[in-house]
A and B are shown apart, each in its own frame.
Chain A
Amino acid sequence: MAEGVARLERGGRIDRAKPLRFRFDGREYLGYAGDTLASALLANGVHLVGRSFKYHRPRGILTAGAEEPNALVRVERGDGRSDPNTRATTLPLFNDLEAFPQNCRPGLAFDLLAVNGLLAPLFPAGFYYKTFMWPPAFWKRIYEPRIRAAAGLGEAPRRPDPDRYLHRFAHCEVLIAGGGPAGIAAALAATRAGARVILAEAQPAFGGWLLGEGAVRARIGGEAPDAWLAEALAELRAAPNCRLLPRTTVFGCYDHNLVGLLEDVGDHRLAPGEGRPRHRLWKVRATEVVVAAGMIERPLVFPANDRPGIMLAGAAATYLHRYAVLPGREIVVVTNNDSVYGLAGDLAEAGARVTVADSRRRVPEAVATAARARGVALLTGVLPAGSEGRRRVRQIHLRPRDAGITLPVPHACDLVLMSGGWHPDLALFAQARGGLRWDGDLAAFLPDRAHWPMRCAGGANGTRSLAEAIADGLRAGAAAARAAGFSAEPPTPPPVEEGPAWTLEPLWCVPGCSTRERAKAFVDFQQDVTARDLGLALREGYESIEHVKRYTTTGMGTDQGKTGNLNALGIVAGERGLPVAAVGVTTFRQPWTPVPFGALVGPHRGALFDPVRRTPMHRWAEAAGAVFEDVGQWKRARYFPREGEDMAAAVQREARAVREACGMLDASTLGKIDIRGPDAAEFLNRVYTNAWTKLAVGACRYGLMLGEDGMVFDDGVTARLAEDHFHMTTTTGGAARVLAWLENWLQTEWPELRVWCTSVTEQWATVTVTGPRAREVLRPLVEEVDLGPAAFPHMTFRTGRVAGVPARIFRISFTGELSFEVNVPAGYGLHVWEALVEAGRPHGLTVYGTETMHLLRAEKGYIIVGQDTDGTVTPFDLGMGWIVSRKKRDFVGRRSLFRSDLQRPDRKQLVGLLTEDPARVLEEGAQIVEDPNEPVPMRMIGHVTSSYMSPTLGRSIALALVAGGRERGGQRLWVPQLDGPPVAVEVTSPVFYDPAGERLHV
């Protein structure tokens, strides 16, 4: 294992004192702290790193940043830490890093699916729309599985993620995305103005271009830029109002300037380490945003421009200056602009033989002379026409631009650098709805009007020199602070010495690429989209840029077309004979770079996915072996099985106990709303279907609430505690909804009513004691209340003490038996519960759960809103016309009841069903028909809403909604089964037990 063959002895920002071992594709290599995986691979002479999406062509490292389309690897760190599609160009190297190439089988060097490349003539853009239609069954069984297997990039993780992710919220006046010279300058200006500033930079270090090529290309204040950089960062670090966030990517700018940041806390290591999260996701509400994301270099589109060893010139500059890697010795630089000339000289001075092949007929004299002086050979008016080399480029073909038909001249090389010009990275600006305008001089889009308070600075704003970038950053920072209410003038920019700003002559693709037969000139490297694919799409009429994108898939990869989209636009514009601006751009969307799902979810996993609500008696039920069910966010005890019991057995036992002796239920989850005010009764009059004004103090009443559409919305018992004070109960699931509903009416429609509503669901623990012996169980624990039937009749309430605790006792029943609902302050709930369990022991008190509660109420024909109703059921449908006041001229929902469809006699109505076979329990949800022999589709006349085996009646019972059901008493209907013969049922009253209600009034 040797020192990397391409690593220079001196220079760069790597720490040669800290060597790091890593593995790629099963081989071991050495790199240094400060490397990325890509720079370390290049230092070791590794160019071939992956296979392309469609043709499985060998691919190398194209860029040195987040815009990388090719160098995507799978990183394996053990323990389920598997990360497909990771950009080698931004992955910091760490010890024992292990990475694998993707999309190649059996291996990187020999990939069976490379045969796709040979078959490429059959696979133009959109080929799959034109074939695979015959025979029909083959699409799902044969064609699609093969297409799927060939597509996709990496392998999805197979094991759960061991890492943690945190979320953090923050506010600031000025958020700056990008910590290059412009971003730092903006931060200086805004910080000095006194604004709270957040400066986020995706890389581990601030400085951007100054950390690489800028370090040798320019001087600030007469010194190397490092001095200015150090001073600026020291100032920002010292400022209490500035927060520097390195390794933090601004991934999304959302409405009203909510900005999403992804901070790498532990991801740049093998494992995050004890107590550390992998990522921290910041959601920052910024008054002003400054986008200083710099510029992105474009490839040149020429035949076979995708081989390993062909990379962007700016990337090579970064590898040379920042990572001390000389990625080739025989270098051809193809360009249409002068941004590469300084680099060409640097490479020559570092020992490479360098030829610049410039597509322009004229290159600025000073630029050409300076390069030649540094040993660079220069060809002008020359176009790249092809390349050779399987696993790495070994030849590039160049042809003169103006000659008619000249054979391309091969140039031997081991590295081709290309530059098609640079464009501002406007993804963040545009995804936040910022407008773009075309700049012909730069041949790129510039930011136009921002939608939210936002501006661009530096390269992202189109500046082409360091001096401009710093000055623009200072201006933008000051302007942002001013817009946020601070008084600020831009600080004076430091003097900068550098070469002239670069110029270019647009070259969207080498002529002929979009039509010529065999040439594969790639526009989108990751999606394997060629210039010819674009041409084909246009010829077939897919002219809108969105159609071109969707038909060819250009720009739809993990890089979202950062390097390729503008070339694609230029080619489409050229083919259509339109200016680029007229073609328009596809929509920019979040995120800027991909964000792990885990980071977006943060801590909201498992128990924190949704809060769990538990009653004060929960622990007791748990200890008693209860089986719980989820009802909304609540955990409710469903039944309490004894040794060897299943649910059916437990429920039969619990129900029998209630009917024969006494049972106890934790009803604390019932919604409770305290309603006060002089107009409280009038208010209830308006929201319930029945009348409330005359309800006596101390009495309770059952109420139905309708939506304004006339459908049952909620129900519950409400008690009048005082003339102006009510205690309302709601369904468990409906509590929050009902409160919001009440507030809505009070505040928006009837502000004149003096009524105040407070949720007291959690303030009260509720224990239902029910059964013929309920009174005996309760009596020894109750003070200050006479439980006798005359003193405390059904549907009244009393206040007193239970087990020494102040209590509200409601004599109301959901079982049909003598029942007391004991409400005590929640903190005493467990105490009272345990006292009642103890007191009930001699009386055969049995604790029961929601399942038994459902059964008992069904025997009585009491409805459960949400089970026996579904939002399409009126009180009349339920046979509860008795609760709809005929005297009140209005209440919520009343008018809707008189619409024609709600008056139909054949509406579904609540009835009881008895199966002919008393042992047969119907399934809830089963449908009801008149004729069991009708062929499918059958006419369904209703469905089973509730169904139980009743121990009291010794047979099964069911409630159902049946069309015109109340007229069908005694009729025989059928319930078809999913398997097996239909079940015969008889329509009955929904009240199966004690229809006269005698057991209530004892």
Chain B
Amino acid sequence: MRRYSIFTLARNALTGHRDWPRAWRSPEPRPRYEVVIVGGGGHGLATAYYLAREHGIRDVAVLEKGWLGGGNTGRNTTIIRSNYLHDESAALYDHALRLWAGLSRELNFNVMYSDRGVMMLAHNVHDVQIFKRHIYANRLNGIDNEWLTPEEAGAYCPPLSIDRGARYPMLGAALQRRGGVARHDAVAWGYARAADALGVDIIQNCEVTAIRRRGDRVVGLETTRGAIAADRVGIVVAGHSSVLAEMAGFRLPIESYPLQALVSEPVKPVFPCVVMSNTVHAYISQSDKGDLVIGAGTDQYVSYSQRGGIQVIEHTLEAILELFPIFSRMRLMRQWGGIVDVTPDRSPIIGKTPVRGLYINCGWGTGGFKATPGSGHLFAWTIARDEPHPINAPFDLDRFVTGRLIDEAAAAAVAH
């Protein structure tokens, strides 16, 4: 791998940037691999990278039906945080957050992780109770999270309205300073380049059409580019997990919903951090390019169309203008949708499946991007050792049978 740095950039400037090598090869698929990862998003590419890097398994292919990072990796609002309530979730997301901190140097690719702080707003007494509970739990888990008064929150994010006369005035906020954002595409590309350098074959435009089993064991895949045999197969296909599971002959506790997002026209820096509000339902940050990046909600029906209704966009912007009235004259530049796989407890599934040699990593719902490095790291461990890492062990399929759910949705609870 030719290293990237300011020096190589300057040297290549002299030759008109004609000599940069490909970031990753574009090989023809081989007939068999030790491990095949289905899904060339951030999670899948990270899995391949860590398989090669940490477990010495380099006979690996990543199969992507379209282009790398073309699913939710390239469609999310890039928020990174680890202030989850339950111990299992906190451990999972903080594992990822610790990897984010060193990721650019690890991959030699600037993923632009920027710990500009994630602030979650409380709008009623119940919110305050919930966020306090998060803060106490996070602190005792070694995760930073602190309570801000409305004035402190306003100072941290100047565009934020602290008007007590608002319909749902802000009563305070929980701030995780280590939270922030990163450049989503760069995560996929950085992992792809680093995995490729370790010998992983990255194969785009290769759609899996069937999963071949012998008895209860996976033996390979049929794809649009021919049959590929594999000892082990990892499925990481957010938005299509149920489709792949059906090919393998089992069902998942998952439904796939459209999740929409939008950006404004680009403006000069005006918004310093990430702000989320569950109660009025909005989340917002500003990208390096200058766009306000705003996450909307999920539509209410199952759909694979990567789009949703305008009412969801309107509702989100209502909330944005409640919180940030000065953005009223800003303009919507582009809206889009992704497909999120939602589990009953809003926590992911990372582990073994009823089919031996077949592993699944899915169900990240609306929040998978932040977990990308940790998810790949743990899934690689799970595949390499045929057993889950202690951090992802609780996130198995069996919990839906025993009732041992990790209910982050319930943690947000309901108003009384």
Contact present for B290 and A131 (CB under 8 Å): no
Contact present for B186 and A605 (CB under 8 Å): no
Q: Is A709 an interface residue (CB 8 A)?
A: yes
Q: A132-B110, A731-B416, A937-B141 are in contact. Are A517 and B10 (CB under 8 A)?
A: no
Distance in Å: Cβ of B227 to nearest Cβ of chain A: 24
Contact present for B413 and A550 (CB under 8 Å): no
Q: Which of A541, A557, A601, A937 contacts B142 (CB 8 A)?
A: A937
Q: Is B214 an interface residue (CB 8 A)?
A: no
A938 to B138, alpha carbons, bound, how many Å?
A: 10
Q: Name the residue on A nearest B315 (C-beta).
A: A604
Name the A residues within 8 Å of B199 (CB-CB): none
Q: A140-B115, A937-B142, A976-B140 are in contact. Are A733 and B415 (CB under 8 A)?
A: yes
Distance in Å: Cβ of B408 to nearest Cβ of chain A: 10
Contact present for A710 and B403 (CB under 8 Å): yes
Q: Bits for A917-930, please: 1 = Cβ < 8 Å to B, else 0.
A: 00000011111010
Contact present for A155 and B267 (CB under 8 Å): yes
Bin chain A's interface residue count.
Answer: 35 or more
Name the A residues within 8 Å of B116 (CB-CB): 140
Contact present for A711 and B410 (CB under 8 Å): yes
Contact present for B4 and A129 (CB under 8 Å): yes
A124 to B20, alpha carbons, bound, how many Å?
A: 11
Q: Which of B125, B136, B266, B330 contacts A978 (CB 8 A)?
A: B136
Q: Is B270 an interface residue (CB 8 A)?
A: yes
Bin chain B's interface residue count.
Answer: 35 or more
Contact present for A600 and B332 (CB under 8 Å): yes
Contact present for A597 and B317 (CB under 8 Å): yes
Distance in Å: Cβ of B19 to nearest Cβ of chain A: 9
Contact present for B20 and A152 (CB under 8 Å): no
Q: List which B256-291 residues lie within 8 A (CB) of chain A.
A: 264-270, 280, 286, 288-290
A85 to B66, alpha carbons, bound, how many Å?
A: 34
Name the B residues within 8 Å of A518 (CB-CB): 16
Q: A122-B9, A161-B328 are in contact. Are A866 and B22 (CB under 8 A)?
A: no
Name the A residues within 8 Å of B30 (CB-CB): none
Contact present for B416 and A631 (CB under 8 Å): yes
Name the A residues within 8 Å of B8 (CB-CB): 130
Q: Which of B66, B186, B327 contacts A597 (CB 8 A)?
A: B327
Q: Is A558 an interface residue (CB 8 A)?
A: yes
Q: Is A610 an interface residue (CB 8 A)?
A: yes
Name the A residues within 8 Å of B141 (CB-CB): 936-938, 940
Q: A350-358, A413-421, A585-593, A819-827: which lies at the B interface?
A: A585-593
Q: Which of B146, B326, B405 contacts A872 (CB 8 A)?
A: B405
Name the B residues within 8 Å of A546 (CB-CB): 67, 70, 74
A605 to B315, alpha carbons, bound, how many Å?
A: 11
Name the A residues within 8 Å of B66 (CB-CB): 544
Q: Is B59 an interface residue (CB 8 A)?
A: no
Contact present for A148 and B416 (CB under 8 Å): no
Q: Name the residue on A nearest B331 (C-beta).
A: A594
Contact present for B129 and A867 (CB under 8 Å): yes
Distance in Å: Cβ of B301 to nearest Cβ of chain A: 11
Contact present for B410 and A867 (CB under 8 Å): no
Q: Is A536 an interface residue (CB 8 A)?
A: yes
Q: List which A815-866 residues lie within 8 A (CB) of chain B.
A: 864-866
Distance in Å: Cβ of A728 to nearest Cβ of chain B: 17
Name the A residues within 8 Å of B135 (CB-CB): 925, 978
Contact present for A596 and B288 (CB under 8 Å): no
Name the B residues within 8 Å of A252 (CB-CB): 310
Q: A233-241, A718-726, A755-763, A895-903: which lies at the B interface?
A: A895-903
Q: Name the residue on A nearest B113 (C-beta).
A: A139
A901 to B415, alpha carbons, bound, how many Å?
A: 26
Q: Bits for B143-179, please: 1 = Cβ < 8 Å to A, else 0.
A: 0001100000000000100000011100000000000
Q: Is A882 an interface residue (CB 8 A)?
A: no
Distance in Å: Cβ of A987 to nearest Cβ of chain B: 18
A610 to B166, alpha carbons, bound, how many Å?
A: 11
Q: Name the residue on B nearest A594 (C-beta).
A: B331
Contact present for B289 and A553 (CB under 8 Å): yes
Q: B47-55, B101-109, B217-225: which lies at the A interface?
A: B101-109
Which one of B105, B135, B314 has the greatest number of beta carbons of chain A within 10 Å?
B314
Q: A131-B4, A151-B289, A936-B142 are in contact. Are A84 and B267 (CB under 8 A)?
A: yes
Name the A residues within 8 Å of B22 (CB-CB): 539-541
Contact present for B136 and A147 (CB under 8 Å): no
Name the A residues within 8 Å of B167 (CB-CB): 606-607, 609-610, 612
Q: A129-B110, A130-B110, A598-B321 are in contact. Are A925 and B133 (CB under 8 A)?
A: yes
Q: A131-B6, A160-B328 are in contact. Are A517 and B290 (CB under 8 A)?
A: no
A82 to B402, alpha carbons, bound, how many Å?
A: 58
Q: B230-238, B243-251, B333-341, B376-384: which lies at the A interface?
A: B333-341
Contact present for B321 and A152 (CB under 8 Å): no
Name the A residues within 8 Å of B26 (CB-CB): 541, 543
A154 to B114, alpha carbons, bound, how many Å?
A: 23
Name the A residues within 8 Å of B24 (CB-CB): 541
Contact present for A122 and B10 (CB under 8 Å): yes
List 3 tightest A-B contacts by C-beta distance, closest first: A871-B410, A152-B290, A925-B133
Given contacts A871-B413, A902-B403, A929-B140, 4 further A-B contacts (CB under 8 A): A128-B288, A139-B110, A547-B67, A943-B136
A interface residues with partner B (beta carbon < 8 Å)? 53, 81-85, 121-122, 124, 127-134, 136, 139-140, 144-145, 147-149, 151-161, 163, 252, 254-255, 258, 260, 283, 433, 515-518, 532, 536, 539-544, 546-547, 550-551, 553, 556-558, 560, 587, 589-591, 594-598, 600-602, 604-607, 609-610, 612, 629-632, 638, 709-711, 731-734, 737, 864-867, 869-872, 896, 899-902, 923-927, 929, 936-938, 940, 943, 976, 978
Can you list 5 A-B pairs with a CB-CB distance of less than 8 A? A130-B9, A516-B16, A596-B328, A597-B320, A866-B416
